[in-house]
Amino acid sequence: MASGTTKQPCVKCNKGGGVATCGGCQQWFCAKHFNEHRQELSTQLDDIGQEHDLLQRDLVPENTTHSLVSYVNNWEKESIAKIQIAAEEARRDLEAPGRTIR
């Protein structure tokens, strides 16, 4: 009686029956190439982690700068509104009846 499973060759060296399959890429590897594949994946994961850290670091100052710019913009609007109110009050005082300008 024949078995329903066939041994897959290693995708790297195409020799013998693969002894392990990668759960991510679903490829078969011999013991030597399986370990190499795991090391490659580990290196790629480290690189991705470093890229993530760099992006995270680069984004934080941008958010801080944006927050500060927003704060300055609000301060400017509030200051202008206060100045406009003070100017309007000064005009009213100057236009009050009985007020003379020297």
Residue 102, pLDDT > 80, answer no
- Residue 60 CB contacts under 8 Å (≥ 6 apart), including other chains: none
pLDDT single digits (tens) 51-93: 999 998 888 776 777 888 999 999 999 999 999 999 999 999 8
CA distance 33 to 12: 7
pLDDT for res 101:
61
CA distance 10 to 27: 8
Q: What is the dihedral of CA 12, 45, 47, 44, to 10 degrees?
A: 10
Mean pLDDT over 42-48 rounds to 97
Look at the chain and report how many structural domains it folds into.
Answer: 1
Structural domain boundaries, residue 47: 20-95
Instruction: Place 3 in a pLDDT band, splitting at 50, 70 and 90.
Output: very low
Q: Is residue 102 in some structural domain?
A: no
Q: Is residue 11 in some structural domain?
A: no
